[in-house]
Amino acid sequence: MSIRLETAKKSESDAKLVMEWRNDPETLRMSYHSTPKKWDSFYQEYCEEYFRDTELFPVFALLEDERISFLKFNKYGDHDFKGNTAEIGINLCPQKRGMHLGTAIIKAGAQYLFNKGYATIVAEIKQINIASIRTFEKAGFVHLDSMQKKVVDSGEVFPIHRYILHHTQGQR
C-alpha cells in the first residue's frame, strides 16, 4: 500500500472536507473539542491556525489519488529531547475506519517530518482513544508518559498518553 502526501491548501474546498471529517460523531468524541464546528469560525481557524507555521503546512494522505486522511503538524516545545520536535495529529476519513490504513498514514507523516529535519515526533492521545493508541504503537511510536492536558480555550482537562517516535526508531 502506497500512501502519498499532498499539501493542503487554504481553500474553501479543503477546509470543508476537513470540517466534514472533523464533525463526525466518533471524531468529535476523541477530540479535545467535542462541539461540532461551524463553517464561518472553522474556516477562519483553518486558514489562520492550521497554516501558521509555513514549514509545517498540513497534508492530506492519499491512497490511489483518493484523500483518506488529514495530518496536522506543530512544532512541539514542551520537551527535553535533543533536536527539533514536532507534534502529529491525524483525522481519518470516517468511511475509511477499520480498513487498517492508519499505520501507513502515520508512518508517511513521520517520514515527512523526518525529511524536514525533525528528530522526534510526539502524539498526544486521549486515554479513551484506544484505536489511535494501537495505531500509533503499530507505527513504531512508544509510550512516553501519561498526564493531564488542559485545553486553553475551553479550560477542560483530559487524561492523555504521550507517544514518541525518534528518527532512529523509524528506521526499522
pLDDT digits (tens, 9 = 90+) for 50-86: 999 888 999 999 999 999 999 999 998 766 777 799 9
- Ordered structural domains, the chain, with CATH: 3-171 (3.40.630.30)
Which pLDDT score, from 0 to 100, does residue 169 have?
Answer: 56
Cα–Cα distance for residue pair 76/21, rounded to 1 Å: 24
Identify the CA nearest to 133 among candidates 94, 170, 102. 102
> What's the pLDDT tens digit per position in 92-146?
999 999 899 999 999 999 999 999 999 999 999 999 999 999 999 999 999 999 9
Which pLDDT score, from 0 to 100, does residue 107 have?
Answer: 97
Q: How far is CA 77 from CA 13, 92, 115, 148, in A?
A: 31, 25, 19, 17
Name the band, by pLDDT with cuts 50, 70 and 90, for residue 4: very high
Which pLDDT score, from 0 to 100, does residue 78 have?
Answer: 67
CA atoms within 13 A on the CB side of 151: 13
Cα–Cα distance for residue pair 109/89, rounded to 1 Å: 9
68 Cβ neighbours under 8 A, 6+ residues apart: 60, 61, 62, 92, 93, 96, 101, 105
Q: pTM of this prediction?
A: 0.91
Cα–Cα distance for residue pair 86/9, rounded to 1 Å: 20
- Residues 61 and 5: beta-carbon distance below 8 Å: yes
Decide if pLDDT at 170 tops 60: no
